[in-house]
Amino acid sequence: MLKSKPFKIVILFFIILLTVIIPPPNGLAKEAWILAGIYLAAIVGLVSKPYPEPVIILSAMALSCFTVGRFADSPVKSTDVLSGYASGTTWLVFSAFTLSAAFVTTGLGKRLAYWFILKFGGTTLRLGYVTVLLDLILSPATPSNTARAGGIVFPIINSIALALDSTPNESPCKAGRFLMVNVYMVTKTTSYMFLTAFAGNALALQLISDIFQIHLSWAGWAIAAVPLGLLMLAIIPWISYKIARPELTSIDNVQIATAGLNALGPMSGKEKGLIVVFISALLGWIFCRYLGLHESSVAVIAMAGSLIFSIICWNDVLQNKGGWNTLIWYGGIIGLSATLSKEGFFKWLAAFMSEHLDFLGAGNSTIVMIVFLSILVRYMFASGGAYVAAMVPVFATVGLVTGTAPVLLALAILFSNSYGGCITHYGGAAGPIIFAAGYNDIKSWWTVGTITALLTFILHMLIGIPWWNFLIQNNLI
């Protein structure tokens, strides 16, 4: 029954019906109460997926537009529900999706991979660090870690495993098991290192900004996250290597890389143009405050440049389903959240929680508790985006009512979403793609994931908090 589409739909309507029938709690207007029910139903829909994400969100927006203004003294208008599509966050992610598609269509992603293999891939363990280098370079302009890991890195690493005579059925432990689990753990780490490395980052930042009233730039995010991410990337291949130990230790990297590069041929003009656009976008995101630009403006300029100079064509943009899906449902969820904020729902929620969470203090111990709880809850979500929409506002509100340092807590929550998804093979859309290759068993995958997530958590709490405090005190973020 839990997998039945009609049953899932009935549950969503039942959630909304309850808010229509049941009077609102003290201090909350009826309109805000119903809109909260619609928002909750949308979140449950994102998790249960009776329809694709855009359909769920568009339906929630339609119901919200119908509800807004039906009650006296309403502080919002129906157009407020659509405000998410005017958000820079939405266009930042959509534009970055275009850049990520260019790495696939031009072949530059493959070329980088084979070049790294040629230079650094002499052993199986070094191949793990080749994965790190490739994913790290692609991550600032690839907000879909599914496209990055599943569409660029995984096919190349999978072909290498097969070239090493490591097959899923006969010899998975020869090299493939280690290589595959490493791909996933690496991409879950790079996903929190840059604002544009995972689409959920921008959404989470927008939701937290609405609650904490803080601003975090692309460069500020990177300064806070990159040092911690690099420390983890230095040991993740080693962890994967020790737990999913490959039988093969050395490889003929020159032959594999040379064959791959020869198949690609000389570097094309589109690839060279993409390198220029990519580097320009990075510099733009780093120095945007000095250029008088917003991060989203830089992303749109980069997308326009890619189109004008024919690095990609408009058909490539149209065929990028992930980008369009994200544009629709991210813009919608931001609009729904903004509407609830204007209705005063989050203020009411903060007041309600402050009455029941008065045992929590304002120190770093509260941050540790909230982040550890967020990792446990993340275990239940197969979608990073759904987790962000459902839980980030809740954890942020809990921190708000305790008086915890908002920027510290925001950074801790923002980063935990990605590495919290390490534990399971369904913690992100790239997981099922890689796991379906057949090399991995659940035990070794979950062991590597649990160790990676816990080590990252400890690192962020013991080193990250002092590092973020230093950055805040010196106005570096």
Q: Of the given ranges (207-211, 351-355, 359-363), which has the lowest mean pLDDT?
A: 359-363
- Chain centroid to CA 306: how far? 24
Give the pLDDT of residue 145. Answer: 76
pLDDT score for 463: 95
CB 42 within 8 A of CB 55: no
> DSSP characters for 356-403?
H-TT--SSHHHHHHHHHHHHHHHTT-S-HHHHHHHHHHHHHHHHHHHT
Is pLDDT larger for residue 245 or for residue 442?
245
428 or 467, which is more confident: 467
Q: Strand, coil or helix: what is 90? A: helix
Domain boundaries, the chain: 88-322
**pLDDT value for 384:** 72
- Can you give the three-state secondary structure of 142-199, one letter per residue? CCCHHHHHHHHHHHHHHHHHHHCCCCCCCCHHHCHHHHHHHHHHHHHHHCCCCHHHCH
pLDDT at 383: 65
The pLDDT tens digits for 402-419 are 778 888 989 999 999 889
Q: Give the pLDDT score at 287.
A: 84
Beta-bridge mates of residue 101? none
Is the model's pLDDT at 222 over the cut of 70? yes
- What pLDDT, in 10s, does the model give residues 81-114? 888 888 777 887 788 777 777 887 888 888 888 8
How large is the average pLDDT for residues 21-46?
88
Count CB atoms within 10 A of the CB of residue 133. Answer: 18
Instruction: Kindly tell me the burial class for residue 213, based on how many C-beta atoms sit within 10 Å of its own C-beta (0-12, 13-18, 19 or more).
Output: exposed
User: How many Å apart are CA 423 and CA 441, to the nearest integer?
Assistant: 13
Other beta carbons within 10 Å of 401? 19
**CA 326 from centroid of its chain's CA atoms:** 12
| Mean pLDDT value across residues 162-168 | 83
What percent of the chain is predicted at pLDDT more than 70? 95
Asked if residue 132 has pLDDT above 90, the reply is yes
Mean per-residue pLDDT for 309-315?
Answer: 89
- Mean of all residue pLDDT scores within the chain: 85
State the pLDDT confidence band at 356, using cuts at 50, 70 and 90: low
CA distance linking residue 44 with residue 41, whole number of Å: 5
- Beta-carbon contacts of residue 290 (< 8 Å; ≥ 6 apart): none
Contact 207/43 with Cβ under 8 angstroms?
Answer: no
Lowest mean pLDDT across 79-88, 265-274, 396-405? 396-405
Single-letter residue type at 67: T
The pLDDT score that the predictor gives to residue 462 is: 94
Strands (E), 85-146: none
The predicted model gives 298-320 an average pLDDT of 88
pLDDT at 73: 67
* Higher-pLDDT residue of 2, 437: 437
- In the three-class reduction of DSSP (H, G, I as helix; E, B as strand; rest coil), residue 407 is classed as helix
| pLDDT at residue 150 is higher than 70 | yes
